Structure 1
């Protein structure tokens, strides 16, 4: 009888854990700024779950995040890149402080990912490597047979930080798709 009670208790605990996992994961992987993300992702033909994954990796949804490399806001855009993007997007009176505004930051981040995709193609590993390490570094890597065999794909990313970044985004993406793809 004691064994049966222990088994029942174990089954109940496991069942509770399984049913609560999505709830807990949704707290860790939120849909903050979903409307803005979805709108901008659609405008630039980018998967909105990818944008969520980038924001999760870059700032963990902290609108006033500043990196050690002076990148700002949700999508961690540097001041110089922000100024260049603003010029390309024809945003008048742009200031660095606008990078703390979720709508502005997400819009500029999506535009930038789209801009990188136009240069590097649809391989998101290459695009996101350029987003993280800079387009100049990725251009060099693609020309180096040690990093790219075909000049289009990266087989080896020499920056550990960028390699970890790509892996983190892939995990984030899988979790976001698992949690929300049936809802949105």
Structure 2
């Protein structure tokens, strides 16, 4: 092995070690917060069947995992559930003595938010991308979703998104879907491991 090759290999190994150190520090800081409510989510999705990573992605977007958040429209907690939606869930779940401030409780909030999201996913189950329609309803309400559905191509995500005249809702849908894909990819194949593998292949 030549001197230059040895230096290249040493630089590559050093870079990998440094990358691992940074990645581990990042994961240590991030993972506990993002996975803090996973046990609650796991329990809730047994009752309201939806991929738990979707629920986590919604929580990330809505509150960044802060159960004390109060929104401008009085949305509360992790999934930013409105008092009206909370009451609808409580009636459906036959939950007695529900009060809107109960939505600050993480478990209650996740149950109410996941119930709402699951209902929307069932409603749009025949679409080519039910999640996009469901997330749009979660963010902007059913009346707007009905307005954005293309009557000539009602099952199409592409047509639906092209009719969406709320840029904030379009961004909402796209960022949650991107986060969901990130969670799925990192579940068994963390991003930092893929990056290291690419570096090694280049070497």
Q: TM-score range by the shorter chain?
A: 0.7 to 0.9
Partner Cα separation in structure 2 for residue 128 and residue 23 of structure 1? 32
Indicate which of 148, 151, 155 corresponds to 1:152.
155
Q: What is the TM-score when the length of structure 2 is the normalising length? A: 0.77
Indicate which of 58, 61, 66 corresponds to 1:62.
66
Query: Structure 1 pair 179/117, CA: closer, same or farther in 2 (3 Å)?
Result: same
Partner of 1:161: 168
The worse-fitting range, judged by mean Cα deviation, of 26-35 and 131-140 is: 26-35
Matches within 5 A, 1:23-42: 24-25=26-27, 27-28=29-30, 30-42=34-46
Matches within 5 A, 1:12-161: 12-18=14-20, 20-21=22-23, 24-25=26-27, 27-28=29-30, 30-121=34-125, 123-142=130-149, 144-145=150-151, 149-153=152-156, 154-156=160-162, 157-161=164-168
Bigger fraction of residues in helix: 2
Structure 2, unmatched stretches of 5+, are 191-203
1:121-155 superposed Cα distances (whole Å, 9 cap, x missing partner)? 2610001100011111101211x45xxx4223323
How far apart are 1:107 and its partner, in Å?
Answer: 0.7
Partner Cα separation in structure 2 for residue 131 and residue 166 of structure 1? 10
The worse-fitting range, judged by mean Cα deviation, of 15-24 and 69-78 is: 15-24
RMSD, aligned CA: 2.6
Indicate if the aligned counterparts of 1:26 and 1:179 stay in contact, CA closer than 8 A. Answer: no
Query: Structure 1 pair 178/118, CA: closer, same or farther in 2 (3 Å)?
Result: closer
1:145-182 superposed Cα distances (whole Å, 9 cap, x missing partner)? 5xxx4223323222111111111112211221223347
Partner Cα separation in structure 1 for residue 48 and residue 41 of structure 2? 11
Larger Rg: 2
How far apart are 1:15 and its partner, in Å?
Answer: 3.6
Query: Structure 1 pair 22/174, CA: closer, same or farther in 2 (3 Å)?
Result: farther
How far apart are 1:22 and its partner, in Å?
Answer: 6.0
Structure 1, unmatched stretches of 5+, are none
Partner Cα separation in structure 1 for residue 167 and residue 24 of structure 2? 31
